[in-house]
Structure formats: structure tokens, C-alpha cells
Amino acid sequence: MYLKQIEQLVVLQKVDDEIVLLQEELKKAPLRITELEKNRQEIEDNAAIIRDKLKYLTDQQKRLEGEIETDTMRLKKSKSKMMQVGNSKEYHAMMREMDNLEKQNRGREEEKITVAEELARQNLELKSIDEQTTELDAELAVARQSLDERLAVAKARLAELDARRAEACTAVPKPILQRYEFIRSRLKNPVIVHVEAGICSGCHISIPPQSFIELQKGIQILSCPNCQRLIYWRDHIAPDPEEVAAAEAAAAEAPEE
Ligand SMILES: [Zn+2]
């Protein structure tokens, strides 16, 4: 009876270990997507700034072209009027005005080149941003797909674990189960731990010899007086073959002392 209960508590503990891991994974899984979405937003914001710049530069370009055209027309008119000018004073005034118009237009032509260069630069930048966006979108699509798959697998596994948990719970008396849940809600995992050579594997502190003797008798379920976790004597439970294999593999890999 006692052994069966301890056995089921250990099963319960294993199930809960895996549930804790899965829940952590479920919590962490969407973080990559959040990060990618943040990058995507930053790039999108940059693109918006560049589009504004491009609009401003295009407006500048149009304004300059308009002004150049207007002044070119005025120059042409002035040139044809030169022929009809009567005195030299008027002639010089006209020459000065034409000089001014030409000078202004030369300045505008220079400005137009600068604007065109800046337009080319910003267009290149926008193109590179568009490429980054396309890449990020592809990465996001893959990440979302794999997240969906991982979530589906984890959820299916959680459902399985819930069923195993319910099964293990039926074998454990209610007060002990309540103690298990109480400890679980207050202490860091695990809830039930083994005692080996008189030492609690939850807090690594010796339990009193009298308690250890009681524990070895295997009559009632005891708690560690130090950490309050449920305890059982290691020799009461056959070691998990998977864990033994893992420990042996680890020992074989570890360098000799
Ligand atoms: Zn302890």
C-alpha cells in the first residue's frame, strides 16, 4: 500500500516535471516571433521615413524645374527685347537682369544635381529595406508555421500528461495529494524527493536518524523536516531504467578523476 502510493507520487512528480518544462517552452516559443515582428516594425518605420524624404526631394525637383523653366522664358523674352532698347542705360539694366537670371538658374541646376543624387541614394536605401522586409516576412512565415507545429505537439503531450496525472492521483489518498499540491504551490519543483544515506535530495541536508529509520520502515509518507518536501527511501523504488542509462552515459563521458 505504502509502496504503491510512493510509486504513484513519483510518477506524479515525473509528470509534473514534464508539465513544468512544457509550460516553459510554451511561454518561450512565441518570443522569437515577437522579436521578428519588432524588427519588421522598425524596418517599416524606416521605410516610411525614407518615403517622406523621397516625396520632399521629388517636390524640390519639380519646384526647381518649374523655376528654371520660368526664368528661361524670361531670359528668352529679354533677349528678343534687347533689339528694341533705345539707350545704353536701359541696355545695361537689362544686361544685369539677364545676368542675374542666368546666375540663379545655374545655382538651381547645381541644386538639381544634388537633389537627384540624394534621390538616387534614398531610392537605393528603400530598395534594400524592401529586400529586408521580404526576407523578414519569409522568416516570420517559417517561424509562425513551426510555432504552430510546436504548440500542437506540446498541447497534445500536455493532454496526455493530464490523463496520466489523473491516473496517478487515483492511487494516492486525498490528504497526501493535498499535501503534494500544497508543497507544489509553495516550493520550487520537485515536491517528492528521495533520501539516500540519510540525506534529503531536495535540500541536501541530513534528516534526523529516527526519521530515517521511520522512512525505511515504509509505513507512512513523511516530509523532510528541513525543506518540507515529501520524502521516500531510495531503495524502496526501483530506479528508472532510462535515468540509469542516462547516468551511465554521463559517467562514461566524464573525464576520469
Ligand atoms: Zn529536504
CA 222 – ligand 1 centroid, Å: 11
Of residues 4, 2, 8, 6, the one with CA closest to residue 164: 8
List the domain range (segments joined by +) for residue 107: 27-167
Tell me which of 106, 134, 167 is where a domain ends: 167
Q: What is the pLDDT along the chain (257 residues), one digit of tens a residue?
A: 899 999 999 999 999 999 999 988 888 889 989 999 999 999 999 999 999 999 999 999 999 999 999 999 999 998 888 888 778 888 898 899 999 999 999 999 999 999 999 999 999 999 999 999 999 999 999 999 999 999 999 999 999 999 999 998 998 889 999 999 999 999 888 999 999 999 999 999 999 999 999 999 999 999 999 999 999 999 998 777 777 777 778 778 766 54
Q: What is the pLDDT of residue 188?
A: 84
Tell me which of 112, 145, 167 is where a domain ends: 167
Say if residue 192 is exposed, middle or buried (CB neighbours under 10 Å; 0-12, 13-18, 19+).
buried
DSSP state string for 99-123 = HHHHHHHHHHHHHHHHHHHHHHHHH
CA 159 – ligand 1 centroid, Å: 31
CA 2 – ligand 1 centroid, Å: 20
Whether 239 and 128 map to the same domain: the answer is: no
CA 204 – ligand 1 centroid, Å: 6
Q: What is the pLDDT of residue 256?
A: 53
CA 6 – ligand 1 centroid, Å: 16
CA 240 – ligand 1 centroid, Å: 21
Q: What is the pLDDT of residue 255?
A: 63
- 133-141 long-range contacts, CB within 8 A, separation 24+: 133/40, 133/43, 133/44, 133/47, 136/36, 136/39, 136/40, 136/43, 137/40, 139/36, 140/33, 140/36, 140/37, 140/40
Asked if residue 72 is part of any domain, the answer here is yes
Domain count, the chain: 2
Asked if residue 22 is part of any domain, the answer here is no
Tell me which of 145, 167, 189 is where a domain ends: 167
- Whether residue 200 contacts residue 231, with contact meaning beta carbons closer than 8 Å, is answered with yes
* Alpha carbon distance 149, 53 (integer Å): 42
CA 147 – ligand 1 centroid, Å: 38
CA 9 – ligand 1 centroid, Å: 16
Q: What is the pLDDT of residue 254?
A: 67
CA 191 – ligand 1 centroid, Å: 10
Instruction: Give, as one character, the DSSP assignment of residue 210.
Output: H
* Alpha carbon distance 202, 197 (integer Å): 13
CA 46 – ligand 1 centroid, Å: 56
Q: Which residue has the cell 509518507?
A: 221
